[in-house]
Amino acid sequence: MTATAPATSLHRPDGSALRVLVVDDEQMLTDLLSMALRMEGWDVRTAASGFQALQSAREFEPDAMVLDIMMPDLDGMAVLQRLRQSGNDVPVLFLTAKDSVGDRVAGLTAGGDDYVTKPFSLEEVVARLRGLMRRAGSALADESEPILRVADLSLNEDSHEVERSGRQIELTATEFELLRYLMRNQRRVVSKAQILDRVWNYDFGGRSSVVELYISYLRKKIDAGFEPLIHTVRGVGYMIKAPQ
């Protein structure tokens, strides 16, 4: 796990860090998510079961929850139902291995606010939580827009819109995450291993050649017809930077 350049800082109206409760019975997953969120400035607490989640929600009073649906004692749907019945309207990001349309609809109609399926990228979860906070209006930002910029290239972390010189660029979800990671680390060389860790998922078993492939996709969409922004540092990795 490696640190990235900080994004637009979100915080509570009193200036304190936003609180997030991460609920999952997979210890490795909660550890990785907690580390990623703490690096983004969140105050993080974890729970390994549905009943622990309900107790922590009462004590910790989180601003957001990352809630796994499949748990051994009380599943995520039941946890959410009890929260809503008690008057707790904390924004909830469901996290689950289920990926059918029916499961997505069930989670959202039950009162969830967003849905991410495993396997996932840590960057995606962080971005989804930031989006939840902005939509809920429960956080203040140090800047007015969640936009990353490198020269004439801009990336909006909330709307997932990418433009270069005013021209909109369509990216796949993976291409977007790769570009975001590069832009949040502009002028910093990142290795293939770092990219695999942060852009793909925590248990990705593929080869580093997939990074080369997606870098080539990005170059065709981002740099074609322009002065190149994405650079290869031989033997080390890749870097995005504005032209000199």
- Give the SS3 label for residue 77: helix
pLDDT number for residue 194: 81
pLDDT score for 160: 85
Which of these, 176, 160, 167, lies nearest to 218 by C-alpha position?
Answer: 176
Distance of CA 185 to the CA centre of its chain: 15
- Tally of CB atoms within 10 A around 34: 17
pLDDT attached to residue 136: 64
Residue 128 is predicted with a pLDDT of 80
Query: Tens-of-pLDDT digits for all 244 residues of the chain?
Result: 333 444 556 677 777 888 999 999 989 989 989 988 988 889 999 999 999 999 999 999 999 999 988 888 888 889 998 998 898 988 888 887 655 545 555 555 555 677 777 777 787 788 888 877 776 665 545 544 578 899 999 999 878 899 999 999 998 878 888 998 899 888 989 888 888 777 765 444 556 788 899 999 999 999 999 999 999 999 899 999 998 8
Give me the pLDDT at residue 242, please: 92
Distance of alpha carbon 74 from alpha carbon 54, whole angstroms: 10
Q: What is the pLDDT of residue 121?
A: 77
Strands 92-96 and 114-117: parallel
H or E segment at 215?
helix 209-222
What per-residue confidence (pLDDT) applies to 8? 53
Instruction: Write down the pLDDT at residue 110.
Output: 56
